[in-house]
Structure 1
Amino acid sequence: MAEQQVYATLHREPCEECVQEECVQEDWQFIRDGELHWAGYEHCPRYEAYACDDGRGVPPPRVRERIVAREGTVHLPVGGPDGVPLALLRRVYGLSLAEVAAARKTGYRATPVEARYLLSPTQ
């Protein structure tokens, strides 16, 4: 499968020195070739500064927090016939056994793209 971008978040807010200009941040999560990916882009028009970052797997906390703030989370059951497999949750998020045990009791909060990835039958 080619690239499939599921959603993007766009935040416009002035940086401390760019009172009249707006700095732009865009963050994406998507599934490409059956793997979870993320990308981030920042631009300050006053200084013509650009920054791009991307990677595979779960995004770093700063990017994931912006995505969660914009898109919210999906509550997923963990374990059992209708839940996310324990081993998959551990592999994707790097959770300890204690964290997986807690998630089995309370469920896990994933971004919409992470939920789609975790619940896909090919995982």
Structure 2
Amino acid sequence: MAEQQMYGVTHCEPCEECVREEWQFVADGELRWEAYDARTRYVFQACDRGRGVPPPWIRERILAREGSVHLAVGGPDGVPIALLRRVYGLSVAEVVAARGTGYRATPVEARYLKSSTP
């Protein structure tokens, strides 16, 4: 399960003055993520960070910017099912679907999963 810390919350709509960045990385053998928002017109900054897979809205923005990596699930060349369940918290039904079609991961998640495979 992902661990999350939030340092600021904004309720405004994004505009041309907004700076928004999201990224993933691996630190100390753990998958981590950060999101940063700033407004140039107002003195405002927000930082959100956590361990594990980012929340869906942040993960979707990372996928839109960096693209996805299609991973085989199970079998000799695929990501182990137990690892996929541990990292993403997938249900049995979701794992069965991923076993048949593969799984869409961010580039950082793909590198992490492949490096965690024995």
Q: TM-score, normalised by structure 1?
A: 0.81
Q: Post-superposition shift, 1:47? A: 1.0
Q: How many residues align?
A: 106
Q: Post-superposition shift, 1:35? A: 0.6
Compare relative contact order (CA 8 Å, sep 6+) and give the higher one, 1 or 2.
2
Q: Aligned residue for 2:60?
A: 65
Q: Does 1:94 align with 2:89?
A: yes
Q: Post-superposition shift, 1:62? A: 1.2
Runs of 4+ residues over 4 Å off in structure 1: none
Out of 83, 99, 105, the position equivalent to 2:100 is 105
Q: Aligned residue for 1:75?
A: 70
Identity percentage over the alignment?
A: 74
Which residue identity is paired with 2:114? L
Out of 24, 29, 54, the position equivalent to 1:29 is 24
Which residue identity is paired with 2:85? R
Q: Which runs of 5+ in 1 are unaligned?
A: 1-13, 16-20
Q: Deviations over 1:36-89 (max 9, x none)?
A: 000000000111110000000000011111101100100000001110000000
Q: Which runs of 5+ in 2 are unaligned?
A: 1-13
Do 2:80 and 2:117's aligned partners in 1 also have CA atoms closer than 8 Å? no
Q: Aligned residue for 1:54?
A: 49
**Taking structure 1 as reference, are residues 121 and 58 closer, same or farther at Cα in structure 2, changes over 3 Å only?**
closer
Q: Post-superposition shift, 1:122? A: 5.8
Q: Does 1:118 align with 2:113?
A: yes
